[in-house]
């Protein structure tokens, strides 16, 4: 990782927070983020219905947009040597010489609800974004530091666990997780300490230096409570739109 990318990440975080505070619905939030360059989509004429926080560079996106033969017929049920069969029942031809790649598997899907620590059982789940490995290191550190204090170890809440649909990766999933992560961030700092966060090789803070850590802490300290309330309001507004058929 480039140690000079701290300013870029700081700007990304600021744009994200600004967009959250300026938005009333999920769709408005995504459009605001798109204007800032924080998110991209293949086709500006199509409103996505899923968001799984995939990462891609602007150069890679430009190449992807050159692909012309695009088929949009929903999810695939099965693929045989001669046919691709969609859940809708539609069928298109294919061949055994064609390469078919499944890029949509939910590798981090967890059953709901689960407590992190139950007796001698540790239920590995996401407690922070983005990579699962970082969450696993936090859970392991809690077990080492508080081996006999189950209440203390369970102060963190698995992100998205409060919503049964969070693993369906619809437009609200990432924001449910981000909201819960904001709540967990302060708890992790108190439970494990800033030196642990800074020294963990899986933590982004390790790579961006002390100044970056201070800047992010200042931004989050001023806005965290308001951000959590605003995300809840956005999710509530979008939930009402969905019920009324205004949001797919």
Query: Would you give the end-to-end CA distance of the chain in angstroms?
Result: 37
134 shares its domain with 99: no
119 assigned to some structural domain: yes
Give the pLDDT means over successive 10-residue stretches in the chain (248 positions): 65 89 95 95 90 87 92 91 95 94 69 81 88 92 95 90 69 89 89 87 73 69 84 87 60
80 shares its domain with 37: no
80 assigned to some structural domain: yes
| Residue 82: per-residue pLDDT | 95
Total tally of structural domains belonging to the chain: 2
| Residue 122: per-residue pLDDT | 93
Last residue of a domain, one of 105, 124, 157: 105
Rounded CA gap, 49 and 235, in Å?
15
Residue in the structure block whose two tokens are 């926080």: 53
| Residue 242: per-residue pLDDT | 65
ω before 130 within 30° of 0 (cis)?
Answer: yes
125 shares its domain with 186: yes
134 shares its domain with 247: yes
208 shares its domain with 136: yes
The residue length of the chain stands at 248
82 shares its domain with 9: no
36 shares its domain with 87: no
93 shares its domain with 120: no
28 assigned to some structural domain: yes
- The 8 Å CB, 24+ separation contacts for 214-221 are 215/10, 216/10, 216/13, 219/10, 219/13, 219/14, 219/17, 220/182, 220/185
124 shares its domain with 187: yes
| Residue 165: per-residue pLDDT | 64
Q: Within a 13 Å sphere around the CA of 236, how many CA atoms are in the beta-carbon half?
A: 6
DSSP characters for 204-229? THHHHHHHHHHHHHHHHHHHHHHHHH
Rounded CA gap, 40 and 57, in Å?
9
146 shares its domain with 99: no
| Residue 152: per-residue pLDDT | 94
81 shares its domain with 58: no
70 assigned to some structural domain: no
170 shares its domain with 245: yes
Asked if residue 6 lies in contact with residue 212, where contact means CB atoms within 8 angstroms, the answer is yes
| Residue 229: per-residue pLDDT | 92
| Residue 246: per-residue pLDDT | 58
pTM: 0.81
Parent domain of 100: 75-105
């Amino acid at each position: 990782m480039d140690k000079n990318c701290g300013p870029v990440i700081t700007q990304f975080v600021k744009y994200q927070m600004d967009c959250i505070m300026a938005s009333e619905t999920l769709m408005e939030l995504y459009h605001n983020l798109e204007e800032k360059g924080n998110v991209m989509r293949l086709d500006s004429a199509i409103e996505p219905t899923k968001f799984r926080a995939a990462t891609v560079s602007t150069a890679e996106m430009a190449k992807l947009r050159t692909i012309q033969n695009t088929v949009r017929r929903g999810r695939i049920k099965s693929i045989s040597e001669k046919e691709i069969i969609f859940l809708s029942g539609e069928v298109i031809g294919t061949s055994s010489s064609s390469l078919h790649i499944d890029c949509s598997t939910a590798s981090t899907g967890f059953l709901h609800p689960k407590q992190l620590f139950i007796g001698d059982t540790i239920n590995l789940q996401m407690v922070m974004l983005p990579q699962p490995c970082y969450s696993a290191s936090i859970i392991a550190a809690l077990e080492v530091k508080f081996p006999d204090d189950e209440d203390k170890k369970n102060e963190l809440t698995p992100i998205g666990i409060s919503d049964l649909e969070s693993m369906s990766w619809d437009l609200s999933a990432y924001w449910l997780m981000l909201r819960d992560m904001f709540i967990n961030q302060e708890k992790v700092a108190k439970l494990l300490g800033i030196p642990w966060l800074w020294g963990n090789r899986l933590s982004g803070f390790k790579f961006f230096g002390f100044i970056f850590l201070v800047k992010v802490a200042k931004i989050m300290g001023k806005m965290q409570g308001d951000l959590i309330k605003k995300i809840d309001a956005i999710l509530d507004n979008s939930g009402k739109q969905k019920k009324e058929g205004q949001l797919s």
